[in-house]
Each structure stands twice: as structure tokens, then as C-alpha cells.
């Protein structure tokens, strides 16, 4: 069983990684879905299901609850995030 405090901290670190590097990521992966684990982009795809397929091929992550998946787009979108 995962420690929820550690899991939440890892999720926040991955979320913060995206926020800090957003401009760089937008330039490199425009209009792509990205998955970040351990403050590293581990998969990208323009289609969310393509991203899921790539992540499944990678096998299980040690802390799957820490992965952050986000669409990098210039359009304004509204999301609800929970911590």
C-alpha cells in the first residue's frame, strides 16, 4: 500500500515541474498530452488514448498515483485538480 502523503507530495512535485517548465514543454510538445513521473516527461502523444497506450507499454510505475497527465495547449481550458 502506498503512503498517501508521499504519493501526494510526488504528485505535487510533478505538477510543479510542469508549471515551472511550461513554456519549454509547450515549445517542445505543442498540442500534445504529456505524462510526467519523477519530474521527467516519460511519454507524449497528440491523442490521450495514444498516451495511455504508450504508458501501458512502459509497464507499472513504482508510484502510479504520482503521475501527472496534462494537455499542453494554447487554448484556455478549465480543469479541476485535487490534492
Q: How many domains does the chain have?
A: 1
pLDDT digit string (tens) for 37-81?
A: 999 999 999 999 999 899 888 887 766 677 899 999 988 777 665
Please report whether residue 51 resides in a domain.
yes
Domain containing 41 equals 4-72
Please report whether residue 24 resides in a domain.
yes
Which strand ranges, in their side-by-side order, compose the sheet holding 68-72? 40-45, 32-37, 68-72
Please report whether residue 79 resides in a domain.
no
Please report whether residue 82 resides in a domain.
no
Please report whether residue 77 resides in a domain.
no
Quote the pTM value. 0.79
Please report whether residue 67 resides in a domain.
yes
Per-residue pLDDT, 1: 42
Amino acid at each position: 500500500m502506498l503512503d498517501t502523503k508521499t504519493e501526494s507530495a510526488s504528485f505535487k512535485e510533478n505538477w510543479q515541474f510542469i508549471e515551472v517548465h511550461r513554456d519549454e514543454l509547450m515549445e517542445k510538445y505543442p498540442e500534445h498530452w504529456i505524462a510526467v513521473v519523477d519530474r521527467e516527461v516519460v511519454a507524449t502523444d497528440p491523442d490521450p488514448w495514444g498516451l495511455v497506450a504508450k504508458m501501458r507499454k512502459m509497464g507499472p510505475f513504482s508510484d502510479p498515483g504520482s503521475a501527472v497527465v496534462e494537455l499542453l495547449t494554447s487554448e484556455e481550458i478549465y480543469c479541476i485538480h485535487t490534492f
